[in-house]
């Protein structure tokens, strides 16, 4: 007599984990989010207000390191068991995603800049001119120091996004979709406005170019749930933008 075959149930497809910290077992409450967001503001303010003894290289590195360190310390305090949830593994797929989102961001923002340049104009990032006149060693150190700097810029954008999402969903009962859309747009506007001094207070440029770029950088995080991916895309974006005028400046001298 043959044995009856054992019935098997097909495994359910794996679902992508939700955005961290705004809900669930590791959710951060409103008062702790307030501390985290305040830490993000302090981290940004120290770029301008904190005096650092030493030469320009030391100053650049200290400011660049403090930018991610301050909000990360606040987040670790606010969510001691769940703060690492904003990061995920990095492998070949994630590296491809970094470049993919970086190129997507560059393509869209450059296209919009070309279409709107005659209407609103635009000011170049002064870092491009500085790099054009810098030595090879100075250029290398600038690009290396920009890594923690851009990581910090991701933190001071994504952490407020998660804070807004948490407050709107848990305290005010918004749907996740509407809360995420509001947080997404709000932090993109905030990111653009933070760049006003860099771009000679051209508010339209900061909102339409920088704010739009932020929308796609945040997309990298929302899609992958991985701050390493959005940071990598940010590095691809900014290194490309800084390298083009530097290379053009070098070509003009030949």
Q: 44 lies in a domain?
A: no
Confidence class for position 128, pLDDT limits 50, 70, 90 = confident
pLDDT interval class at 114 (50, 70, 90): confident
Give the best-scoring range by mean pLDDT among 64-78, 105-119, 203-217. 64-78
Measured between alpha carbons, how far is 185 from 187 in angstroms, rounded to an integer? 6
* Per-residue model confidence (pLDDT) at position 10: 52
Kindly state whether residue 113 falls inside one of the protein's structural domains. yes
Write the pLDDT tens digit of every residue in 33-43.
999 999 999 99
DSSP state of 53: -
Query: φ and ψ at 107, to 5 degrees?
Result: -60, -45
φ, ψ of residue 124 in degrees (nearest 5):
-75, 150
Q: Is residue 58 part of a domain?
A: no
Question: In the 3-class helix/strand/coil scheme, how is 166-206 assigned residue by residue?
Answer: HHHHHHCCCCHHHHHHHHHHHHHHHHHHHCCCCCCCCHHHH
Query: Within a domain: residue 26?
Result: no
| Model confidence pLDDT, tens digit, residues 143-162 | 999 999 999 999 999 999 99
Both tokens of residue 65?
């390191």
Please check whether residue 83 lies inside any domain of the structure: no
Give the predicted TM-score (pTM) of the model: 0.90
Give me the domain span that covers residue 128. 89-252
Contacts of 42 (CB under 8 A, 6+ apart): 70
Residue 48 lies in a domain: no
Of 244, 86, 206, the C-alpha closest to 154 is: 86
Residue 54 counted as domain residue:
no
Q: Measuring CA to CA, how many Å separate 43 from each of 66, 85, 181, 217, 241?
A: 7, 21, 25, 20, 24
Q: Say how many CA atoms lie within 13 Å of 164 toward its Cβ.
A: 19
Q: CA neighbours within 13 Å on the CB side: how many for 186?
A: 16
Is it the case that residue 234 has pLDDT exceeding 70? yes
User: What is the tally of structural domains in the chain?
Assistant: 1
In a domain, 41, yes or no: no
pLDDT at 254: 41
């Amino acid at each position: 007599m043959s044995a009856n075959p054992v019935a098997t149930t097909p495994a359910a497809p794996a679902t992508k984990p939700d955005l961290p910290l705004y809900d669930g077992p590791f959710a951060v409450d409103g008062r702790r989010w307030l501390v985290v967001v305040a830490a993000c503001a302090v981290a940004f303010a120290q770029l301008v207000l904190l005096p650092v003894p030493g030469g320009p290289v030391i100053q650049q590195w200290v400011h660049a390191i403090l930018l991610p360190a301050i909000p990360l310390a606040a987040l670790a305090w606010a969510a001691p068991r769940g703060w690492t949830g904003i990061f995920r593994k990095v492998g070949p797929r994630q590296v491809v995603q970094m470049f993919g989102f970086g190129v997507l961001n560059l393509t869209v923002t450059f296209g919009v800049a070309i279409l709107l340049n005659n209407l609103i104009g635009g000011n170049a990032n002064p870092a491009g001119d500085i790099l054009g006149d810098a030595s090879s060693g100075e250029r290398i150190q600038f690009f290396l120091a920009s890594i923690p700097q851009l990581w910090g810029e991701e933190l001071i954008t994504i952490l407020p996004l998660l804070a807004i999402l948490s407050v709107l969903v848990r305290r005010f009962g918004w749907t996740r979709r509407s809360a995420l859309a509001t947080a997404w747009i709000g932090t993109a506007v905030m990111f653009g406005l933070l760049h006003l001094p860099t771009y000679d207070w051209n508010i339209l440029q900061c909102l339409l170019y920088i704010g739009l770029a932020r929308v796609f950088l945040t997309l990298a995080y929302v899609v992958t749930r991985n701050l390493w991916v959005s940071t990598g895309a940010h590095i691809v974006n900014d290194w490309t933008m800084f390298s083009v005028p530097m290379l053009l400046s070098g070509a003009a001298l030949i």
